[in-house]
Amino acid sequence: MAERPNGDSTPATPSKGLTVDEMLKKYPKEDVERAIFNRDYVGERNRMISIYNDMIAKGSNVQIATKARDNFLERTPSEPPIDPDEPADLDPDVLWRIKILKYSYRDRPVVRPESILDLDTASVDPDTMVNRDAILNAYRHGDLKVVFGEVSVWFAGNLVIGPLPNSKLGLDDIIDKVPGWRKKYGPGRVWEERPNFLHAGDHVHLGPGVSSKRLTEPAVDLHELPRIDLVLLSHYHEDHFDRKVEASLRRDLPIITTPHAKEHLTSKNEDSFTSVHALDPFEQMNVDIEGIAGSTGSRLRVTGMPGQHIPPNSVVQKLNALVSAIPPTNGWMLELGSGTHNTAEFSCGYRIYISGDTLMVDDLHEIPKRYAGQQIDLMLAHLGGTTIPSPLVGRIMEPLALMVTMDAEQGLQLIQLIQPDITIPIHYDDYDVFASPLEDFKRVVEAAGLSDKVVILDRSDQYRFRVKG
């Protein structure tokens, strides 16, 4: 559906369609990629338009919402790109997957590296292309279908396992067979073909080809929240800042975030946020509480904390830089107290550390050094062992599963490192990419004798504390 300027829905005017190359000349790259990778792109786009129209119909920030909607309509393709090189009678799901496989390797020279450590992120090795081309032909000829939840394994351009349900295949099943495949087919690499659907309404986009399904309901609806005075945004990922939220927030709302997220939030033309502040690790800023503007008053001091959302591996980091699947992330130290606008002149009455989406990396060891002798009263630890496909490379198979947030063991290590008075685990079961359940964390904490230092909250539960002084 296209939208009239007054918000009424009208049938969309059929278009002749644009190829990927034509779209990239007309629209931002990230919006073209959404059109390619999201299986329900048209439905998702229409839902975003409906959000703007609902705001306009309800009289909520009409001028801002109208400009935002019109800007959204202008900058986003109305439909996925066409591919005139593919048969017109292909199954829509198959055509969707073919477009993804072709786009993921477009304009990348084929170069054979001496080893996996020498892989140039701008190129692709020939063994990978042999698999990719064999899979494309299998889709085109009807030998392979797109079935959510199924996987097929390919080696040197040959189907060697499957298709079969994901649950029936483990990493060991592949590793044990690689020597036999090499003996039979010669040199080659392994590719796991796992099409992922991006279903309507219940998935978030985490980067090119990476999505996650929400499994739980929030404790309170967005519009039932009290007035929001400040947002701390650890990183620009839709499981932290989804499009419905982004569309609904007033544009002058203060946001403290990473430099990367600030760049995105402030580069949306007339739809940009206007009060975004970026902090690097250990940079600070003071926030007045209740509008107190005197020389001394209640303050919130916010300090950026280090975090790393991908494993500290040079190859993975280079590949992530290519596809931008995982953005830079911050944690936060929040200090409630009093003082002046000078961040050094501050008396803290309660200190909260929020880990953000990070792994247990060396940079975190700087936190207890910086806060030696200063009590950290409460820690909110992001757990769950979030596991996603890596950007198109692996030693044995493609894609390689990567853990990008702390699991139970790392959560325990964080408690032992930071030594807060109380820890509350969060962000561990909302999406289907979480692989480390809360029960695992409870077990390791109990075994370490730290159960009295952990508080488990259900949705809508509250934890109350008192600020000293």
Q: Which domain holds residue 131?
A: 92-193
Question: Omega before 163 cis (within 30°)?
Answer: yes
pLDDT tens per residue, range 46-87: 877 887 788 788 776 678 778 878 888 888 899 999 999 998
The pLDDT value given to residue 151: 80
Q: Is pLDDT above 60 for 180?
A: yes
Torsion over CA: 340, 345, 349, 351 (sign): positive
Is the pLDDT reported for residue 9 higher than 50? no
If asked whether residues 283 and 398 sit together in one domain, one would say yes
Q: Name the more confident of 458 and 102.
A: 102
| Residue where a domain stops, chosen among 172, 193, 214 | 193
| 398 Cβ contact list (under 8 Å, min separation 6) | 128, 131, 189, 190, 191, 192, 392
In this model, does residue 295 exceed pLDDT 60? no
Asked if the bond preceding 425 is cis, omega within 30° of 0, the reply is: no
Q: Which two tokens stand for residue 146?
A: 């797109």
HEC string of the chain equals CEECCCCCEECCCCCCCCCHHHHHHHCCHHHHHHHHHCCCHHHHHHHHHHHHHHHHHCCCCHHHHHHHHHHHHHHCCCCCCCCCCCCCCCCHHHHHHHHHHHHCCCCCCECCCCCHHHCCCCCECHHHHHHHHHHHHHHHCCCCCCCCCEEEEEECCEEEEEEEEHHHCCHHHHHCCHHHHHHHHCCCCEEEECCCCCCCCCEEEEECCEEEEECCCCCCCHHHCCCCCCEECCCCCCCCCCHHHHHHCCCCCCEEECHHHHHHHCCCHHHCCCCEEECCCCCEEEEECCCCCCCCEEEEEEEEECCCCCCCCHHHHHHHHHHCCCCCCCEEEEEEEEECCCCCCEEEEEEEEECCCCCCCHHHHHHHHHCCCCCCCEEEEECCCEEEECCCCCCCCCCCEEECCCCHHHHHHHHHHHCCCEEEEECCCCECCECCCHHHHHHHHHHCCCHHHECCCCCCCCCCCCCCC
Q: What is the pLDDT of residue 191?
A: 85
In 3D space, the residue among 259, 249, 225 whose CA is nearest the CA of residue 64 turns out to be: 249
Distance CA 401, CA 299 (A): 43
Rounded to an integer, what distance in angstroms lies between the CA atom of residue 172 and that of residue 8?
A: 55
25 and 106 in a single domain? The answer is no
The reported pLDDT for the residue numbered 186 is 93
**Is 466 inside a domain boundary?**
no
Same domain, 317 and 228: yes
Does the residue 459 lie in any domain? no
The answer to which of 58-67, 178-187, 315-324, 414-423 has the lowest mean pLDDT is 315-324
Across the range 216-240, mean pLDDT stands at 70
Confidence of residue 345 (pLDDT cuts 50, 70, 90): confident
Task: Extract the tokens encoding 363.
Answer: 């940079």
Q: Is the pLDDT of residue 274 over 80?
A: yes
Tell me how many domains the chain contains.
3
Q: Which of 57, 82, 107 is the last residue of a domain?
A: 82
Is 468 within a domain? no
Confidence of residue 200 (pLDDT cuts 50, 70, 90): very low
Instruction: Say if 397 falls within a structural domain.
Output: yes
Of 82, 107, 137, the position where a domain reaches its end is 82
User: Residue 58: its pLDDT value, please?
Assistant: 79
Least trusted range by pLDDT, from 190-199, 317-326, 422-431: 317-326
> Is residue 349 one of the residues assigned to a domain?
yes
Query: In Å, how far from its chain's centre is CA 244?
Result: 15
Q: Domain for residue 461, yes or no?
A: no
Residues 211 and 357 in one domain: yes
Question: Does 208 share its domain with 189?
Answer: no
Residues 219 and 351 in one domain: yes
Mean pLDDT of 183-204: 67
**Contact in structure between 334 and 351 (CB atoms under 8 Å):** yes
What CA–CA distance (Å, rounded) separates 349 from 396? 52
Residue 465 lies in a domain: no
Q: What is the pLDDT of residue 252?
A: 86
Interacting residues of 261 by C-beta distance below 8 A, sequence separation 6+: 233, 235, 236, 241, 276, 278, 327
DSSP lists the bridge partners of residue 10 as: 2
pLDDT at 447: 92
- Write down the pLDDT at residue 255: 92
Structure tokens at 275: 């009060």
Task: Report the percent of the chain where pLDDT is more than 70.
Answer: 74
- Per-residue model confidence (pLDDT) at position 148: 72
Report for 112-121, 197-206, 390-399: range of highest mean pLDDT: 112-121
Q: Note whether 374 and 438 are same-domain residues.
A: yes
Q: Tell me the average pLDDT across 415-432.
A: 88
pLDDT band at 208 (very low <50, low <70, confident <90, very high): very low
**Is residue 463 one of the residues assigned to a domain?**
no
What is the per-residue pLDDT for 375?
A: 94
Q: Are residues 13 and 64 in the same domain?
A: yes
Residue 185 above 50 pLDDT?
A: yes
What confidence score (pLDDT) does residue 198 get?
34
Question: What tokens appear for 208 in the block?
Answer: 């090119």
Cα of 44 vs its chain's centroid, Å:
17
Is the pLDDT confidence value at 469 over 80?
A: no
Q: Are 318 and 416 found together in one domain?
A: yes
Q: Are residues 315 and 409 in the same domain?
A: yes
- Model confidence pLDDT, tens digit, residues 426-457: 888 776 666 778 888 999 999 999 999 999 99
370 & 424 share domain: yes
- pLDDT averaged over the chain? 78
**pLDDT value at residue 411:** 92
Residues 6+ apart with CB under 8 A from 299: 286, 287, 288, 289, 336, 337, 338, 339, 346
**Pairing mode, if any, of strands 255-257 and 276-278?**
parallel
pLDDT at 213 over 60: no
Q: Are residues 52 and 165 in the same domain?
A: no
Q: Which residue has the higher pLDDT, 69 or 111?
A: 69
Structure tokens at 20: 């990927």
Take residue 25 and report the two structure tokens written for it: 């000349």
- Angle 388-407-198 from CA coordinates, rounded to 5°: 25
Residues 6+ apart with CB under 8 A from 414: 355, 360, 364, 379, 381, 406
Per-residue pLDDT, 452: 95
Give the confidence band of 398 by pLDDT, cuts at 50, 70, 90.
very low
Q: Are 309 and 329 in contact (CB under 8 A)?
A: yes
Say whether pLDDT at 397 is over 90.
no
> pLDDT at residue 117 above 60?
no
pLDDT band at 241 (very low <50, low <70, confident <90, very high): confident
More confident residue, 43 or 181: 181
Tokens of 257: 């975030």
Higher pLDDT, 247 or 303: 303
